[in-house]
Amino acid sequence: MRMDAVLVWMGLGVVAALGLVGCGGEEDPIPAPPFPEGTGQPAANAAQYPAGPYGISPGRVIANYQFVGYANAAEHKDTMQPIQLADFYNPTGEEVFPEGSPYGAGEPKPKVLLIDVSSVWCGPCKIEAESVLPRLYEKYQPLGGEFLVQLADGRNPGEPAVPRDLYRWTTTYDVQYPSAIDPSYKLGALFQADAFPANMLVRTKDMTIIEVVSGVPAEDSSFWRTFEKIMNGAI
């Protein structure tokens, strides 16, 4: 399994259609922006994102993956926006989102980021989205925690999620936190089908992955205690 993969924002091409027409000719309910492809660190953020070594295992810096999705689908999902991990980079611990940010201009950036890699076909992912994440997000978001769900697969294993999948997912589970799909299928391809959901904790001051677990961590587990330690600066 490839452990180092970096997604870029270099404008080397655009994915045509980006899944605007799904199975059976059904149109997606929202438009998605063009999605550039390539490899390597986004040139525009090279000086504003930590250097590697990149990977998806603890101790590695997670690459600046770029997705498309919603900053908050509960408030706005008429259109999709670019979402990149550099958006959450908080080197001083006191950074705020800039003017015009979909996350809210002047709002504090998070100190810890949960990246939840889920799939539409995955039963435990649905349980997590419905019963676990909403309560924990309500608890942690005001304290400096942030969640990002990335739908890897659509309705079948190995089939990348499309805009329609994300629209339905965020509507069904009333998702309040950032959510996205990856049209280039770079991050989702790094996980095996039996690994969903994959939950990783990223310390945003240096974008280092602190912990990764497969499955749904219990609310009283060490995983969430680690989340709190990162959030409080103890890790």
How far is it, in rounded angstroms, from Cα 173 to Cα 170?
5
Coil, helix or strand at residue 174? coil
Domain for residue 112, yes or no?
yes
Mean pLDDT, each 10-residue run in order, the chain (235 residues) = 34 32 42 47 59 92 95 88 95 95 95 97 97 96 97 94 96 96 88 88 98 94 97 96
Q: Token pair for residue 206?
A: 């240096």
Q: Token pair for residue 44?
A: 């525009």
Domain for residue 13, yes or no?
no
The pTM of this model reads 0.81
Peptide bond before residue 98 is cis, with ω within 30 degrees of 0: no
How far is it, in rounded angstroms, from Cα 150 to Cα 134?
16
Domain for residue 146, yes or no?
yes
State the sign of the Cα–Cα–Cα–Cα dihedral 60, 64, 67, 70.
positive
Domain for residue 44, yes or no?
yes
Domain for residue 16, yes or no?
no
Coil, helix or strand at residue 131? helix
Q: Give the range of the structural domain holding residue 64, as residue numbers without chain letter.
A: 23-231
Q: Token pair for residue 57?
A: 């295992």
Number of domains in the chain: 1
What integer pLDDT is reported at residue 183 of this predicted model?
86
Domain for residue 109, yes or no?
yes
How far is it, in rounded angstroms, from Cα 68 to Cα 182?
7
Place of tokens 């655009």: 14
CATH of the domain at 155: 3.40.30.10
Q: Are 64 and 42 in contact (CB under 8 A)?
A: yes
Q: Which residues contact 127 (CB under 8 A, 6 or more apart)?
A: 216
Domain for residue 189, yes or no?
yes
Domain for residue 11, yes or no?
no
